[in-house]
Structure 1
Amino acid sequence: MAPSKDMRRPDLVVPYQEPAASTDKADFSSTLSSTMPMAAMFTRSKFVGWAAVVFSVQSWLGESQEAKRSSGTPGYLNVLMAVAALGVTYMPLFLPPSAAPAGSAKAPAPILPQ
């Protein structure tokens, strides 16, 4: 077996340099994780509530050091907001609304002319 000839040249090797992070890009996942709990509370949708929990946990776990410094709210606060929104969507299950009959209110007696 003949030894293979190595064609790589050590003088052409370029060391890896990590590219600088862009600071002007919008953090869409953080925006989504903070607005979805509000949408879940307004619509009382359990599906949107669970999606808000998943997105907020994902955003919290994927938070970079730069995002931590520049963000106004910490990631765990978005998670707590999403859990609260999920609680609001399930609230009618534990605290059912009072069932007032629709036709229980009586109309006032008519005023007869004298």
Structure 2
Amino acid sequence: MPQDDPRDASLAVKFSPPQTWTAESVDGLATSGMFLAGIIMVTRNRILAWPSLILGVNSWINQHPLRTKEGGTPPVGNLALAFFALIASYLPLFLKATAEPAGATETQTPLSFST
């Protein structure tokens, strides 16, 4: 039998994950997405809502469950915040204003002069 045969039981070693798997790393794109979502909620800027949603999806796709510590924050919160920021920025376009403008009067009729 060759020396490098993977089926050889004497070559088996116990699996041990690298130390970097248990260390939680900071995801800069996810942090930027949450920051953008917060700005969108305050400023109602519709243009920034789409990149924030893309960064939220990116953080959700690139999650590493083996790298997160016990009790770590999942990226689903980032995605939800970006989604609701998108809704909050577009919601005023679909809501109808019920209050009258400040300068409007109840009935305005043209002046008529009688002679």
Task: Give the letter for the 1:55 counterpart.
Answer: L
Corresponding residue number in structure 1 for 2:62: 62
Task: Give the letter for the 1:69 counterpart.
Answer: K
Task: Give the letter for the 1:85 counterpart.
Answer: A
Post-superposition, which runs of at least 4 consecutive aligned residues in structure 1 deviate over 4 A? 22-25
**Structure 2 Cα separation of the partners of residues 32 and 71 of structure 1:** 22
Task: Give the letter for the 1:52 counterpart.
Answer: S
Q: 1:91 to 1:24 in 2, by over 3 A?
A: closer
Query: Could you give the per-residue CA deviations for residues 74-101 of structure 1, whole angstroms, max 9, x where no partner exists?
Result: 1112111111111101111211333532
Structure with the largest fraction of helix: 1
**Structure 2 Cα separation of the partners of residues 87 and 40 of structure 1:** 10
Q: 1:65 to 1:56 in 2, by over 3 A?
A: same
Q: 1:58 to 1:30 in 2, by over 3 A?
A: same
**Is the 8 Å Cα contact of residues 33 and 52 (structure 2) preserved in structure 1?**
yes
Corresponding residue number in structure 2 for 1:98: 98
**Is the 8 Å Cα contact of residues 36 and 48 (structure 2) preserved in structure 1?**
yes
Superposition TM-score, scaled by structure 2 size: 0.59
Q: Structure 1: where are the runs of 5+ without partners? A: 1-18, 106-114
Mapped pair 1:74 → 2:81: no
**Structure 1 Cα separation of the partners of residues 24 and 78 of structure 2:** 22
Sequence identity, in percent? 30
Task: Give the letter for the 1:62 counterpart.
Answer: N
SS of alignment partner, residue 29 of structure 1: helix
Task: Give the letter for the 1:80 counterpart.
Answer: A
Q: CA deviation at 1:67?
A: 4.7
Q: CA deviation at 1:53?
A: 0.5
Q: CA deviation at 1:25?
A: 5.5
Query: Could you give the per-residue CA deviations for residues 40-76 of structure 1, whole angstroms, max 9, x where no partner exists?
Result: 1111111111111100100111122355336742111
Corresponding residue number in structure 2 for 1:40: 40
Q: Structure 2: where are the runs of 5+ without partners? A: 1-17, 106-115
